[in-house]
Amino acid sequence: MPRWALGVVIVPWLLASPCQAQEEPAREHHLTVAGGPSFVSQRDANASPLRYGGTAVSFQAGYAARTGGTWLAVRVGGALGNLRSDLTQDNLPRQEVWRGWVETEYAHVLISDYRTRWLLGARLAVHGTAIHHFYADPGGSEAGYTFASAALGPIVAVERAIGAHTTVSAWLGASLLALIARPYVGGGFLNQGGVPHVRAAALDLFQAPQLTAAYVTEIDRGTDLVVAYHAVVERYRDSQPFRYASQDVSVALQLRLGGGQ
């Protein structure tokens, strides 16, 4: 891992650490269940030189604990979609895409006033993509392709109260170092022989920026409605490159357990 990459992770943590001592924690727990449409585009050169895109349905469950100075969150989610290419006619060729993720993030409040909080922290994101490709050849061939990443990187966020019971927030994350697991060729879950190759990838090989913007408003005591936009991009540089992008618009119910707002 390059030294500058270590610096990008560690320095913000050192900067953020004093806040923990300054804040008197009033712990609050959140449980969130979200769902909505996801707009997906991807190109796995193992499967096809063509870009495939379409809509998916995504869902996510999350837990978060926050104090005045810290933020800890764990999210588990998935998406399932049916993608088409420029060649697709009569639903062939097409791709069914399954995607799953587990994300953990921890952040400290860097700066705060009565309306705005700036946070800085780190995120560990494990994402897996499985593609079931249906070819338009005379044999009606099918094949499976997989790509998985475990990426660590910084996150920066800003939250702003825009009403008595309403906040907006934006979270930006990126990967600095990742482990990539990918079979060499078509295989994986449909064909035998799809033994994943695992390799470390720094920012030059793997980029995975994420952006989340959320609008949170209280709809009942202890219950919030969350409307969010979430964009994920994965770009893996390889002899057979992999690119994936999704933009989700989700609606979530969030339960606040313990503490106050």
Partner 1 sequence: MRHRFGSVAAAAVLAAGCTGVFVGPNEPLEGSALFEYVWRDLDRHYAFFIVKAVNWDSLHDVYAPRAAQAGTDAELADVIGAMLAELRDLHVNLVVGTRVYRYSGYDARPMFFDSVVVRTRYATDIQLAPDGRVQFGHAAPDVGYVRIPSFRGTSPGSDLDAAMAQLGDVRALIVDVRSNTGGSRENGLEIAGRFADRERIYGLAQFRDGPGHAEFTPLEPRLVTPVGARRFERLVTVLTNRRSYSAAESFVLAMRALPTVVVIGDSTGGASGAPLARELPNGWTYRLSVSVEYTADSTVYESVGLAPDVWVRGSAAELAAGRDAVLDTALAVIRRVLPSGVVARP
State in angstroms the smallest separation of the CB of 53 from partner 1. Answer: 5
Q: Does 198 bind partner 1 (CB under 8 A)?
A: no
Q: Does 260 bind partner 1 (CB under 8 A)?
A: no
* Residue 162 in tokens: 């825009």
Positive or negative CA dihedral for 133, 138, 140, 141? negative
State in angstroms the smallest separation of the CB of 232 from partner 1. Answer: 9
State in angstroms the smallest separation of the CB of 52 from partner 1. Answer: 9
Measured between alpha carbons, how far is 250 from 57 in angstroms, rounded to an integer? 10
Binding mask 106-145 for partner 1 (x = CB under 8 A): -----------------------------xxxxx-xxx--
Give how far Cα 138 sits from Cα of 81, 92, 135, 169, 190, Å.
25, 11, 9, 51, 19
State in angstroms the smallest separation of the CB of 187 from partner 1. Answer: 6
State in angstroms the smallest separation of the CB of 73 from partner 1. Answer: 21
Measured between alpha carbons, how far is 184 from 121 in angstroms, rounded to an integer? 34
The residue count for binding partner 1 (CB under 8 A) is 50
* Residue 45 in tokens: 């050169």
Q: Which of 62, 81, 93, 173 binds partner 1 (CB under 8 A)?
A: 93
Q: Does 39 bind partner 1 (CB under 8 A)?
A: yes
**29 vs 51 by CB, closer to partner 1:** 51
| Residue 15 CB neighbour total at 10 angstroms | 12
Give how far Cα 27 sits from Cα of 17, 23, 221, 224, 260, Å.
17, 11, 17, 17, 8
Positive or negative CA dihedral for 24, 26, 31, 36? negative
Q: Does 40 bind partner 1 (CB under 8 A)?
A: yes
- Residue pair 57/81 in contact by the 8 Å Cβ criterion: yes
Measured between alpha carbons, how far is 231 from 248 in angstroms, rounded to an integer? 6
Half-sphere exposure for 207 (CA within 13 Å, toward CB): 7
State in angstroms the smallest separation of the CB of 209 from partner 1. Answer: 9
**103 vs 248 by CB, closer to partner 1:** 248
Q: Does 86 bind partner 1 (CB under 8 A)?
A: yes
Check residue 192 and report its DSSP letter: T
Binding mask 154-193 for partner 1 (x = CB under 8 A): --------xx--x-----------------xxxx---xxx
State in angstroms the smallest separation of the CB of 122 from partner 1. Answer: 23
* Site of interaction with partner 1 (CB under 8 A): 37, 39-43, 48-51, 53, 86-87, 93, 135-139, 141-143, 162-163, 166, 184-187, 191-195, 197, 213, 215, 227, 229, 231, 233, 239-240, 243-249
